[in-house]
Structure 1
Amino acid sequence: MTFQTTRRTLLGGIGATALGTLAAPYLIRPAFAQSKELNVWSYSGFVTDEFKGKFEKDTGITVNIRPVSDQGEQFNLMVAENGNHSADIVCCAGHRFYQFVDKELLAPIDFNKMTNWNKIDDSIANAKWVSRRDQVWGVPIVLVSTGLLYNKEVSPAAPESWSVMFDPANAGKTTYQIQDFYQIVMNYLGYDGSAASYVDDPQKAQDAVNATRDFLIQHKDKVRRYYDAATEIQQMFVSGDADFAQAGSGPASQIIQEGFAAGYTIPKEGGLAYAYGFNIAKGAKNLDNAYLFLDALIASPENGAAIVRSTGYSSTIKGTDALLNDAEREALGLTPEETGRLSWVDVETAPFIFDLIDKAAEEIRAA
């Protein structure tokens, strides 16, 4: 599979284009659980209105969607529920799902209840990063890269280096989410952002994190604002408040497709890649309904294309690319050289490094 990259809506406009119809109806088995409810925590656009409506009509199950905008908030809510989870399905980022697994908030996937697992692209379904402790803990839905979004009116050519984020000429015109940017900056400074080489040397890891923290504090004057929701990036670009941003491929592709003079690239120092997926909460009250929902979600490339158009991210479902138009493919795509600069977040080393990064991020905000 070619990695076609692509958190959401640009001033009410991006993503408002037609999602298209699900040309080939997917098959949904009749609901066999007693409950007629399903509670899903989801990022915007991962469950389209069209899919939700069809699923409810075909099964008689009412799907209650609770919007998610932050992994930390979702994690803290689940921990606070102390095992009595209000959600049946939650939406975890591939570089953070280990936290939910290690805290025993999720249930592993039961493949006996997933008849459509083979509809997921093989390179993704069999990837190491969908597993932990030799079990698969979720259904990957979209692929995400983290790269550089830039204003073409300011920089007609794609910047070759992340140095533009720290250039005095761009002071007050940059934005990033600290944790998502941190490993990239570690690489930019010559450290090992993956932390794989630091696993047996925690002091070396701490020194690298500290040096990166100090560097980001030193260049804090370059940042217009640390963003939380990806809509903030789009709004800052449209308002002229920012010209350069560390951004996910989704909001980047959306703003490009809306006609804004922007480009998206992976600079020479690299970027990150991971997936967002749906995960079943441990002890889910509506477990059978949850499997019906997840199985239907990945059943057709038509739904994959609808998710692409509503989120800007690339779908994991086989056959989706063929349903996209040329403009959509161009906005979602990276060159082979750019794709080669992406590093998949390792879920085995992520717990080790993110604990350090999370602490450093708070110190940067407080500085």
Structure 2
Amino acid sequence: MTASRKSTSGLTRRQALAFGAAALATPFVIRGARAAGDFRILTWEGYAEPEWVKPFEEKHGVKTSVVYAGSVDEMFAKMQGSQGADFDVVAFDTSSFARYIDASLIRPLDLSKVPNAANLLPAFHAVAPLMRGKDQYGVPFAWGSLPLVYDKAAFPTAPDSWSVMWDPANAQKIIALDDANNSIVLAAILLGFKDPFHLTDEQFDKVKEKLIEQKKLLLTYYAGFDDGVAIFAQSGIKAMFSMGEPQVPGLKAKGVDAAFVIPKEGAIGWLDCWTVSAGTKDVDLAHAWVDACLDRKVGAYLSDKKSYGNTTDGDANTRNGFTYADKLVWLQTPENFEKRIAVWNEVKAAP
């Protein structure tokens, strides 16, 4: 995270992913009725910038209108309200694809109309949540992680395992997200379960036991980006299960020599993808937008200016430290979200 719009945009996206937080007000939001000739985009802040919007408009002779969503649920509600007819393209993360496809809100892509898909880096060639049978419904665009953040004073050598979050030696010096799904996924990853998004009853029991074990060692759970940074800085915390990479700059701004690491077990990753709305007014133009977003120059901008991992420019990822996409477990729709909330509540209620 750096100064100005870059930090604001980055935090908004990551907070929206993890917690469905309200979006920050932005002068770029366009609301209300749109002209018949407009190309209509529903997305997150930072994903429809002038650097590629203007060339797209000039090339295709259209005017774009952009609506920025403030949460995962808000985005789905906007699409569902018109069965996709209010938008031509929409960007969301892998955990949402099942419900969009099931609700018939997006259409399969014709990749012959997206030649820049050839720019996709190897880690993004086969992303299971984007597929339904032989049909592909999205193309990867931007990504990040929920890594292990640690104080370098406490760990001169970076910890290599999530087990530090369960180590009695760190009791009362660790904090974790108050987040049902992400906490359960993380415990499942540490336990070595092959599919942390589709757990059996036996696996749920082991995850619950593991999380209760951790709860006894935590100083507290935290519920937001700023909350986590403040508790970490004020309480001499050694490590935390973080909301994302930008919490490190937030801690450094408070005088903590913090860093993050992707442990050997892997970490949760979010991956936002462009899709074509089922209600698009121009299928070819919608595919042209997806193609424009996969230009390597756009990928470089995402990493250099917005602090997101990108999916098309490996050099930009390398110079910005985004070299660990292959170590991430991309979010998927869980088997039973209500059950996960119930299990999480049991964990938090445990002595």
Q: Which category of TM-score, normalised to the shorter sequence, fits these structures?
A: 0.7 to 0.9
Residue 279 of structure 1 deviates from its aligned partner by: 1.4
Q: What does 1:44-83 align with in structure 2 at a 5 Å threshold?
A: 44-79=45-80, 81=81, 83=83
Does the aligned pair in 1 maintain the 2:116–2:291 contact within 8 Å? Answer: yes
Choose from 314, 322, 333 the match for 1:332: 322
Distance 2:66 2:331 in 1: 30
Residues 278/170 of structure 1: CA separation in 2 closer, same or farther (3 Å cut):
farther
Q: TM-score, normalised by structure 1?
A: 0.69
Conservation of the 8 A alpha-carbon contact between 1:35 and 1:286: no
Relative distance call for 1:306 and 1:74 in structure 2 (3 A) is same
Per-residue CA distance 1:43-87 (angstroms, 9 max, x = gap): 2323333222332333342322322343234234434x1525433
Matches within 5 A, 1:243-254: 244-247=239-242, 250-251=245-246
Change (3 A) 1:253 1:214: closer
Structure with more contact order per residue of length (Cα contacts < 8 Å, sep ≥ 6): 1
Structure 2 residue 324 is matched with structure 1 residue 322: no
1:288 and 1:301, CA in 2 relative to 1: closer, same or farther beyond 3 A?
Answer: same
Partner of residue 311, structure 1:
306
Question: CA–CA distance in 1 between the matches of 2:345 and 2:79?
Answer: 22
Give how far 1:316 is off. Answer: 1.4
Unaligned runs of 5+ in 1: 1-7, 17-33
Q: Does the CA-based 8 Å contact 2:165-2:214 persist in structure 1? A: no
Q: What is the rounded CA distance, in whole Å, between the counterparts of 2:234 and 2:4 in structure 1? A: 14
| 1:155 match | 155
* 1:226 aligned partner, one-letter code: A
| SS in structure 2 of the partner of residue 204 of structure 1 | helix
1:78-89 correspondence runs (5 A): 78-79=79-80, 81=81, 83=83, 85-89=85-89
Q: Which residue number corresponds to residue 186 of structure 1? A: 188
CA pair 163-322 structure 1, distance change in 2 beyond 3 A: closer
Structure 1 Cα separation of the partners of residues 323 and 52 of structure 2: 25
Per the alignment, in what secondary structure is the counterpart of residue 246 of structure 2? helix
**TM-score by structure 2 length?**
0.72
Is the contact between residue 170 and residue 222 of structure 1 (CA under 8 Å) also seen in structure 2? no
Q: Shift of the alpha carbon at 1:138?
A: 0.7
Counterpart mapping for 1:184-333 below 5 A: 184-188=186-190, 190=191, 192=193, 194-195=195-196, 198=199, 202-208=200-206, 210-211=208-209, 214-215=212-213, 221-223=219-221, 225-227=222-224, 232=226, 236=230, 240=234, 244-247=239-242, 250-251=245-246, 261-273=257-269, 275-298=271-294, 300-317=295-312, 320-322=313-315, 328-329=319-320, 331-333=321-323
Kept in 1: contact 2:87–2:277 (CA 8 A): yes
The aligned counterpart of 2:16 is none
Q: Shift of residue 140 of structure 1?
A: 0.8
Q: Would the aligned equivalents of 1:99 and 1:351 in 2 still touch at CA under 8 Å?
A: no
Q: Which amino acid aligns with 1:313?
A: Y
C-alpha spacing 1:157/1:125, structure 2 compared with 1 (3 Å): same
Secondary structure of 1:145's counterpart equals: strand
Query: How many angstroms does 1:137 deviate by?
Result: 0.6
**Structure-2 change in CA distance of 1:134 and 1:108 (3 Å):** same
Change (3 A) 1:249 1:170: same
What is the aligned partner in structure 2 of residue 20 from structure 1?
none
3-state SS of 2:147 partner: strand
Letter in 1 for 2:340: I
Looking at structure 1, the residues matched to 301 and 176 of structure 2 have their Cα atoms a distance apart, in angstroms, of 29
Query: By how many angstroms is 1:109 displaced?
Result: 0.8
User: In the alignment, is the contact (CA less than 8 A) between 1:48 and 1:306 conserved in 2?
Assistant: no
Offset of 1:271 from its aligned partner? 1.6
The amino acid of 1:332's aligned partner reads: F
- Output one character per residue of 1:179-233: Cα deviation in whole Å (capped at 9) or x when no partner: 2232112333x362624885xxx4324434544564566566422x222xxx547
Aligned CA distance change for structure 1 residues 358 and 278 (closer, same or farther; 3 Å): farther
The structure-2 alpha-carbon separation of the partners of 1:172 and 1:286, relative to structure 1 and needing over 3 Å to count, comes to farther
What SS class does the counterpart of residue 97 from structure 1 fall into?
Answer: helix
Is 1:344–2:346 an aligned residue pair? no
Percent identity, please.
19
1:31 aligns with none
CA contact (8 A) 2:198 2:334 kept: no
Cα RMSD (Å): 4.0
Q: Distance in 2 between matches of 1:163 and 1:114?
A: 43
Q: CA deviation at 1:126?
A: 4.1
Residue 315 of structure 1 deviates from its aligned partner by 1.8
Is the 2:171–2:219 Cα contact (8 Å) retained in structure 1?
A: no
Check conservation: 2:140, 2:274, Cα contact below 8 A.
Answer: yes
- 1:239, distance to aligned residue in structure 2 (A): 6.0
Whole-angstrom CA distance in 2 between matches of 1:60 and 1:204: 57
C-alpha contact (below 8 Å) 2:233/2:251 kept by paired residues: no
Could you tell me which runs of 5 or more consecutive residues in structure 2 were left unpaired when the two chains were aligned. 10-34
Amino acid of the structure 2 residue aligned with 1:315: N
In structure 2, distance between residues paired with 1:216 and 1:197: 22
Separation of aligned partners in 2, 1:343 and 1:323: 18
What letter matches 1:244 in structure 2?
A
